Structure 1
């Protein structure tokens, strides 16, 4: 009999195992848990979403600090336990559901979570790939390699570049494996997310910028000039290089967030809209 595969990680599921359970490592260090909530600056005016609430180590602290807590947990055993320990907390709601199928709040909200590592990127896409969402800020514990990729200067993925047009994502600190049960086999880290006060790209230009990002970052190690010749004329490209203050041999991954904003504005200014790179209709909802 063929085993059912985990929807997001591609790993085999044991009988009865929930789709988000793989990669869930529960934090138990009380000092660190308090640091996470402190870092999020949670107050009574905040609605907080916690993804992968587990046994509620973070949930109980959030319940004391936030105006409203939405604790998402799929596993029956953990969800039942969460409901019992938060029964006296009228501001806390336990949502037993697959993380990837939840409806995020329509209003402003904060995310504070120790997420399942096996679906780190899908969760980040859920949170950050819609710039018109109500997400204001967040603190997330995740696998260290992913944390470095999302916060590093080298942006080699179009979706990471998209996120950083609207959100500041910063690496805070590494976290010892000894603070988890069970200890993960990979290193862990804490990151912060904060919506930019002034976005680099207007939200209304999301799809247009995404088309540009996906086009250029198909080969992130490629030299900028040849890649952009598919969009700009030679005189336009020469002017753009002067505006960016870069040579013709700079790789596309080396451009900063602000430089990407300049590239997009130049495309809007000089290139007729029918010639802009576009997101294919079948891929519009991919993120």
Structure 2
């Protein structure tokens, strides 16, 4: 079984962050937030030590019980727990984590649907971070979450900045819960269904997609796009958060 230079098996899918500029960048972003911190996948504590210096309540979890014991001894001021990042309650104000690349999507989906956290700083695969931040066009997951969360791409991390070295670069993604949602939370499930229908509908132009997804005429679709400030967009991936919410409001009122 392969072992990293940090010791311990790599079977848990952990690529430890060793890139000091990124460790500093994450800490700087977290410093701009407030409240308690939850670190997912603490590993050997390279980031945990920096976060502990912020002097805020900090819980660090890891699925490797041996690392948990070692880190508990090294950082007595930190609450270190043996836990699974895909199941642990997201009960802190800020969530930080070097996410195992193969678990990025399930962890992100869970984070965007549960917990009371306000800010998150996540290290994921570069392409995942780009897509979630809407670089090059939005994705279904981002569009479904955009009325309640803001996504920002904070930087790229070279593959050699991890140990063991993965085959792809990492990307630093920050997520902030909106203080004023663009769509009422009570409408979230219906809105998510609307967005899914838009991404799966057929059509070479956006008005054709809207007409197919919402089962309205092309003229009504163009009217909705104009009202949402999206008449110049070509496809669903080109829509921004305000345009998605504007389209939803138009159809919700017309229903």
TM-score range normalised by the length of the shorter chain: 0.7 to 0.9
Show the counterpart of 1:122.
Answer: 106
SS in structure 2 of the partner of residue 184 of structure 1? coil
The question of whether the paired residues in 2 share the 8 Å contact of 1:139 and 1:193 is answered with yes
- Give the 3 Å change call, closer, same or farther, for CA 104–137 of structure 1 in structure 2: same
Show the counterpart of 2:226.
Answer: 242
The question of whether the paired residues in 1 share the 8 Å contact of 2:202 and 2:208 is answered with no
Task: Spell out the pairing of 1:192-271 with structure 2 (5 A cutoff).
Answer: 192-219=174-201, 223-230=205-212, 231-234=214-217, 235-247=219-231, 250-271=234-255
- Name which of 68, 72, 79 aligns with 1:83: 72
- Name which of 83, 96, 104 aligns with 2:90: 104
The question of whether the paired residues in 1 share the 8 Å contact of 2:86 and 2:107 is answered with yes
Q: What residue ranges of structure 1 are gaps of 5+ in the alignment?
A: 1-15, 272-287
TM-score (norm 2): 0.86
Are positions 1:175 and 2:157 aligned together?
Answer: yes
- Structure 1 stretches of at least 4 aligned residues deviating more than 6 Å after TM superposition: 16-19
Q: What residue ranges of structure 2 are gaps of 5+ in the alignment?
A: 1-7
The total of aligned residue pairs comes to 245
Farther off after superposition, 75-84 or 261-270: 75-84
Alpha-carbon distance in 2 for matches of 1:65, 1:237: 51
TM-score (norm 1): 0.77
Show the counterpart of 1:4.
Answer: none
Show the counterpart of 2:138.
Answer: 155
Task: Give CA-to-partner distance per residue, 1:97-116, whole Å, 9 cap, x none.
Answer: 221111221xx510121111
Alpha-carbon distance in 2 for matches of 1:170, 1:220: 29
SS in structure 2 of the partner of residue 54 of structure 1? coil
